[in-house]
């Protein structure tokens, strides 16, 4: 092996990397198949790592169910694993290192990066992780290639004692922390988080860490109970109560200072505007469907001065803080993982994530 290093500058794990691997390959609307595909080849400045665990994101579900992307693709971007090979020029990592990786990293130099609008950077929009085909995360495959910009600024070593499963939350926690800050949640405020899937729960937990009193809503009793365990002041069933009345009753008739929407239902925007106080904020987190259209009363914005805000993906500025929240054990991540599926059962995992049961929270695909 030392001779190979001298000739190529690359470093490889003692156990040779296989030429083929298993992956859940998206083959068209609603269809993901477990297939054998080539292990990605890496080049200068790149890293190959073996995926240990990957969370299923709501965006993955939307892309698969509605055919928003062209097949074939290997999705999965909430991933962690072990470095098995490094390309020439890589000095920050070596085989055997345990890591978590972001799939988007901005250029840091353009108009948008100068204004810290990192997710609007043209480079950011190009995914830097792939398990083959067009780059699209790759966590639903056994091995992933990280491109140079990810290796340089988007890969984080895992401290001893931090599990691969917990590490899969680094990216989603970042996206939620960015959203909470975008909504300007402040100490002493009243916040309603609509939807208590994994993202909604993270939004609620992080809003509490900012010092807000947080109320939540979800039609599933198991999720409402979990939300209360994680610190929500109350969690309501939106099918049986009037959320506007409930929140106003708890805020001297004003309404919430901020409403964070973690469900993509278009009607939720109109309701959120009614729940937010005049001058309050409504943040759209789940409304990222490219064909979705929204309607709402103009006076809620133009007269009562409510704000509608959007938040998309992660922020480079939140990278260190989001990782620290997880590495320091400040979030109840283990309790949020309800289901684990081996890669061979990725179809079952995706189905459950898309059609959650009473107690379904975070669904992971595990590789080890």
> Which residues have a Cβ under 8 Å from the Cβ of 64 and sit 6 or more positions away?
26, 29, 30, 31, 32, 75, 350
Residue 106 lies in a domain: yes
Residue 1 pLDDT more than 50?
Answer: no
Is the domain of 19 the same as that of 156?
A: yes
Is the domain of 344 the same as that of 274?
A: no
Residue 281 pLDDT more than 70?
Answer: yes
Nearest to 198 by CA among 362, 330, 37, 14: 362
- 78-129 pLDDT per residue, tens: 999 999 999 999 999 999 999 999 999 999 999 999 999 999 999 999 999 9
Residue 274 pLDDT more than 70?
Answer: yes
Is the domain of 29 the same as that of 129?
A: yes
Task: Report how many helices (DSSP H) and strands (DSSP E) the chain contains, helices first.
Answer: 14, 17
- 192-211 pLDDT per residue, tens: 999 999 999 999 999 999 99
How many Cβ atoms are within 10 Å of 220's Cβ, its own excluded?
Answer: 18
Both tokens of 174, joined, read 């970042």
pLDDT of residue 9: 64
Residue 356 lies in a domain: yes
Is the domain of 42 the same as that of 164?
A: yes
Is the domain of 211 the same as that of 267?
A: yes
Q: pLDDT band for position 55 (50/70/90)?
A: very high
Nearest to 259 by CA among 316, 209, 225, 216: 216
pLDDT of residue 353: 97
Of 264, 293, 310, which residue sits at a domain end? 310
Residue 7 pLDDT more than 70?
Answer: no
Residue 262 lies in a domain: yes
Is the domain of 161 the same as that of 241?
A: no
Residue 310 pLDDT more than 50?
Answer: yes
Residue 179 lies in a domain: no
Q: How far apart are CA 56 and CA 165, in angstroms?
A: 12
Rounded alpha-carbon distances, angstroms, from residue 230 to 197, 206, 217: 13, 10, 13
State whether residue 14 is helix, strand or coil: coil
pLDDT of residue 170: 98
Is the domain of 250 the same as that of 163?
A: no
Is the domain of 219 the same as that of 350?
A: no
Residue 353: phi, psi to the nearest 5? -65, -35
The CATH number linked to 355 is 3.90.180.10
Is the domain of 99 the same as that of 237?
A: no
Q: How far apart are CA 189 and CA 265, in angstroms?
A: 25
Residue 172 pLDDT more than 80?
Answer: yes
Are the C-beta atoms of 312 and 288 separated by less than 8 Å? Answer: yes
Residue 152 lies in a domain: yes
Of 294, 310, 326, which residue sits at a domain end? 310
Residue 92 lies in a domain: yes
- DSSP conformational letter for 84: E
The chain-wide mean pLDDT, for the chain, equals 95
Number of domains in the chain: 2
Q: How far apart are CA 344 and CA 322, in angstroms?
A: 31
Give the residue, 286 or 259, on which the prediction is more confident.
Answer: 259
- 12-26 pLDDT per residue, tens: 765 677 899 999 999
The CATH number linked to 188 is 3.40.50.720
Mean pLDDT of 295-300: 95
Element (H, E) at 201: helix 198-209
pLDDT of residue 15: 64
pLDDT of residue 8: 43
Are the C-beta atoms of 112 and 53 separated by less than 8 Å? Answer: no
Is the domain of 291 the same as that of 323?
A: no
Residue 157 lies in a domain: yes
- Ordered DSSP codes for 96-158: T-EEEE-S----SSSHHHHTT-GGGSTTTTS--EESSSS-S--TTBSEEEEPHHHHHHTEEEP
Residue 248 pLDDT more than 90?
Answer: yes
Is the domain of 204 the same as that of 291?
A: yes
Q: pLDDT band for position 292 (50/70/90)?
A: confident
Of 268, 283, 310, which residue sits at a domain end? 310
Query: Looking at the whole model, is its pTM more than 0.85?
Result: yes
Mean pLDDT of 158-186: 98
Domain around 234: 184-310
Q: Which of 17-21, 58-62, 112-116, 255-259 has the lowest mean pLDDT?
A: 17-21
Percent of residues, the chain, with pLDDT higher than 90: 92
Residue 72 pLDDT more than 90?
Answer: yes
Is the domain of 224 the same as that of 345?
A: no
Percent of residues, the chain, with pLDDT higher than 70: 96
Residue 78 lies in a domain: yes
Q: How far apart are CA 263 and CA 219, in angstroms?
A: 11
Residue 245 pLDDT more than 60?
Answer: yes
Residue 10 pLDDT more than 90?
Answer: no
């Amino acid at each position: 092996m030392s001779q190979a290093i001298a000739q190529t500058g690359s470093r490889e794990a003692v156990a040779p990397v296989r030429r083929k691997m298993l992956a859940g390959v998206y083959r068209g609307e609603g269809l993901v198949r477990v297939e054998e595909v080539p292990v990605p080849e890496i080049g200068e400045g790149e890293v190959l790592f073996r995926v240990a665990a990957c969370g299923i994101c709501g965006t993955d579900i939307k892309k698969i169910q509605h055919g928003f992307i062209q097949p074939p693709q290997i999705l999965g971007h909430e991933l962690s694993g072990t470095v098995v090979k490094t390309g020439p020029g890589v000095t920050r990592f070596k085989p055997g290192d345990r890591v978590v990786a972001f799939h988007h990293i901005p250029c840091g130099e353009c108009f948008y990066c100068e204004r810290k609008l990192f997710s609007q950077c043209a480079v950011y929009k190009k995914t830097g992780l792939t398990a083959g085909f067009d780059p699209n995360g790759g966590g639903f495959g056994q091995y992933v290639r990280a491109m140079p910009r990810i290796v340089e600024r988007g890969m984080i070593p895992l401290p001893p004692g931090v599990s691969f499963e917990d590490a899969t939350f680094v990216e989603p926690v970042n996206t939620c922390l960015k959203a909470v800050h975008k909504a300007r949640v402040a100490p002493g405020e009243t916040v309603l988080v609509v939807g208590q899937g994994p993202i909604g729960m993270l939004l609620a937990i992080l809003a509490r860490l900012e010092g807000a009193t947080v109320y939540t809503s979800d039609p599933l009793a198991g999720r409402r109970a979990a939300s209360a365990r994680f610190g929500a002041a109350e969690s309501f069933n939106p099918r049986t109560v009037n959320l506007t009345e409930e929140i106003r009753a708890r805020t001297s008739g004003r309404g919430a200072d901020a409403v964070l929407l973690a469900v993509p239902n278009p009607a939720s925007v109109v309701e959120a505007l009614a729940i937010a106080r005049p001058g309050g904020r409504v943040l759209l987190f789940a409304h990222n469907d490219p064909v979705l259209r929204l309607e709402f009363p103009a006076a809620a914005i133009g007269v009562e001065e409510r704000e509608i805000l959007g938040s998309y993906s992660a922020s480079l500025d939140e990278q260190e803080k989001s990782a620290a929240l997880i590495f320091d054990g400040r979030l109840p991540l283990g309790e949020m993982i309800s289901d684990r599926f081996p890669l061979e059962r990725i179809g079952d995992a995706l189905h459950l994530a898309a059609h959650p049961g009473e107690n379904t929270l975070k669904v992971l695909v595990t590789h080890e």
